[in-house]
Amino acid sequence: MKISSDTLDVIHDYCEMEQLPQLSNLSFLHACFQETTWEMLPTFLESCPNLRSFFLKLNWDPNRLVDLSSVPQCLQSSLEVLELETPYILREGRSTHGTSSKMKLAKYFLENCGALKEMIVSRNFFYLIHKIMSIPRRSTGCEFFSF
C-alpha cells in the first residue's frame, strides 16, 4: 500500500477520535510523512502487525525528529526490509544533514527490528553508514544498502 502525506493527515485526525483498525493483511507500506503526522508513526505501525517491507519517506527537515519511545509489534517480529529517505536541505548556501536525527532514526529501527534483513538508506545517510553499522541491533543478519 502506498499512502500519501495528505492521506496520513486524514488518518492522523481519525486517530484522535477513534482507534485505527488492524490492517492484518498489509505486508508492504510506502508512506510519506510530513512533520505534522510524524508523532503518529508508532501508532500507525501498531495497526500493521504483519508488515514485512516499509519505505519511509520524510518530507521535512529531520532536525525536528520527535521522540520515538513506543515500539510497534511489527518492528519486533515481522519487518524484514526498511527503506529510509530524508530530504537534503540547503540553508544559507550550506547543506544541513540532520546528522543526530538521522542517527536517532536509524538507531530506533536497528535496536527494535528483530527480523530486519535489509536496511536501505538514501544518499543523505551515506556519510553516516559506518556509524550506523556500529549501532547494536536486534537483528544480527541485517545488510545495509544505499541509493
pLDDT band at 86 (very low <50, low <70, confident <90, very high): confident
Name every residue whose Cβ is closer than 8 Å to that of residue 42 and which is 6 or more positions away in sequence. 68, 70, 71, 72
What is the amino acid identity at position 102? K
What are the sequence ranges of the domains in the chain?
A: 2-146
How much is the average pLDDT of 22-32?
95
Specify the 3-state DSSP secondary structure of 9: helix
Instruction: Dump pLDDT digits (tens) for 100-125.
Output: 778 888 899 999 999 999 999 888 87
Chain position carrying cell 525536528:
64
Which set of grid coordinates corresponds to residue 129? 553508514
Q: Decide if 98 contacts 86 (C-beta within 8 A).
A: yes
